[in-house]
Amino acid sequence: MTSQDTEIRLIGRLTHDASFRTVDDDSRIAYLDLQVELPPEDTMIVHAQARGPIADYLHAHDCRQGDHMIVFGMLKTTRKGDEYVAVRVAAADTSKDWRPS
């Protein structure tokens, strides 16, 4: 199994309210789906996860469907032979306060 990390910045809107789960060590995980606009007239849904203080920030700011978000993180890809490739964003920072101009 191989893994590759690429830095990424996503700007978009939440497609649904952020959801949260607490794991065994009492840390919180946030799950986000962002609708990202692609030129010229296309969109893409990107799945993101945030842990620790970033998940706590998202929980405290009550992130809801339609909120504008900017997410900085790592694009995580994992390949297992020819069977599958998994892609997700591991958030390193985020902001709900961003607004488009």
Q: State the pLDDT at residue 1.
A: 46
CATH number at residue 39: 2.40.50.140
Give the model's pLDDT for residue 85.
Answer: 64
Domain containing 18 equals 2-95
Look at residues 49, 39, 42, 43 and name the one whose alpha carbon lies nearest to residue 8. Answer: 49
Token look-up 């990424």 returns 8
Total structural domains within the chain: 1
Whether 17 maps to a domain, the answer reads yes
What pLDDT does 18 receive?
92
Residues listed for the chain: 101
30 falls within a domain = yes
Residues with pLDDT less than 70, the chain: 1-5, 83-88, 97-101
Evaluate whether residue 22 is within a structural domain.
yes
Q: 26-44: per-residue pLDDT in tens? A: 889 999 999 998 888 898 8
Classify residue 40 by burial, with Cβ atoms within 10 Å: 0-12, 13-18, 19+.
exposed
Instruction: State residue 92's pLDDT score.
Output: 78
Asked if residue 100 belongs to a domain, the reply is no
How confident is the model at residue 98, as a pLDDT? 58
DSSP state of 84: E
